[in-house]
Amino acid sequence: MTVKSLTRRGALGLFAAASATLTLGAPAQAQVDFSGRTIEWIIPFGTGGGSDTWARFNAPFLSRHLPGNPTVVVVNEPGGGSTRGTNLFAQRARPDGLTILGTSGSTQFPYLLGDPRVRYEYQDWSVVMVGPTGGVAYVSPSTGVNSIEDVANLQGQRLVYASQGATSLDLVPMLAFKLLGFDVNYVFGFGGRGDGRLAFERGEVNIDYQTSSAFINNVTPLVEEGKAVPLMSWGVLDADGTPQRDPTFPDLPILEEVYEMVHGEAPSGPMYDAYKAFNTAGFAAQKMVVLPAGASEELVETYRQAWRDVFNDPEYLETFEAALGSYEQVTDAAADALFQAGTTIDPEVRAMVVDMLATEYNVRLGE
């Protein structure tokens, strides 16, 4: 199988290769017809957020390309950090193709951490699409950092970060900063990364990260004004699953490079393994579309063919980047590989992270 992130050119090339491989070896597809039917796309988050926006952009295209042109309705089921709606899907969805689920890194993280609220098993499901994204960490020039070459100046400083919570996507920068040896005070309870950016702009915090689209739209002006200094991107995975620079930010190093700048050697060990696991689940494999347990091969292939057709739809190609950024959604072998990478963690690494959350941040899962 192949892992590939993230630019349109790269993902389209991978998609074409994976599609050709699967087409040659796939059995004849049984006739599936959704004429006159309604498909519920469960999103375990509220309206207006990133996952909701992602699903509502994709839903009309999926309707257009599924056989019979069914109505695809986005159904929001928020609660429990996305575990409530996901649990409902696992318990109630029938394997008839009329209910699909959209997950996010915020759904993957409780699963990887063994959160007791989780009543779902990713490995029971069939993935039909994965949508990656990226992110960039940056600091205030008040830290004495004017470029990445000054990163050593962060050692020994008291940095302050506005966080949504230790088990949110903020776990990725938390693990990164811990690996680098930064002394960071996390102020929990912020409603989202947008709130964190505003706190940065007000001078209340001096280190932050934003997803790629938010960084480009909202932080780049701060960089141009000399009010923010980019440190690193979360990178992408190449065809072998090896971290590489994010082509969206080719001039920014990734954590592995920054670590070597600070410590003089490549990162390794359980903490780095934890960073890689949650970075993959939170970014390279952030959003997934899955069918419930028991879905037939014919049904899975029907959905994958629909996504292949979506990705070649001229309207989709014209509007995708403005709506979702430059990170290409994938299906077939690429989706399979990202699905496995984003939902798998070594039990010892999991135990280490859970212990870290409890002892250092007083976070106990399920509370």
CB atoms within 10 A of CB 357: 18
Mean pLDDT for 255-272 is 95
pLDDT in tens, 26-35: 444 458 999 9
More confident site: 353 or 236: 353
Residue 367 pLDDT:
59
Annotate 141-165 with three-state secondary structure. HHHCCCCHHHHHHHCCCEEEEEECC
For the ranges 3-7, 79-83, 219-223, 240-244, the lowest mean pLDDT is seen at 3-7
Amino acid identity, position 328: E
pLDDT of residue 22 exceeding 60: no
CB atoms within 10 A of CB 224: 9
- Domain positions in the chain are 8-132+285-348, 135-281
Residue 327 pLDDT:
80
pLDDT of residue 180 exceeding 80: yes
Mean pLDDT for 48-68 is 92
pLDDT in tens, 83-138: 999 999 999 999 999 999 999 998 999 999 999 999 999 999 999 999 988 899 99
CATH topology of domain 135-281: D-Maltodextrin-Binding Protein; domain 2 (3.40.190)
CB atoms within 10 A of CB 231: 25
Residue 241 pLDDT:
80
Please tell us whether the domain made up of 8-132+285-348 is placed in CATH 3.40.190.150: yes
Residue 140 pLDDT:
97
Buried b (16+ CB within 10 A) or exposed e, 83-108: bebbbbbbeebeebbebbbbbbbbbb
Residue 30 pLDDT:
53
Q: Quote the percentage of the chain above a pLDDT of 90.
A: 72
Q: Are 338 and 25 contacting, i.e. CB atoms less than 8 angstroms apart?
A: no
- Of the candidates 83, 100, 3, the residue with the CA atom closest to the CA atom of residue 332: 3
Mean pLDDT for 276-302 is 95
pLDDT in tens, 304-351: 999 999 999 999 999 988 887 778 899 999 999 999 999 999 999 999
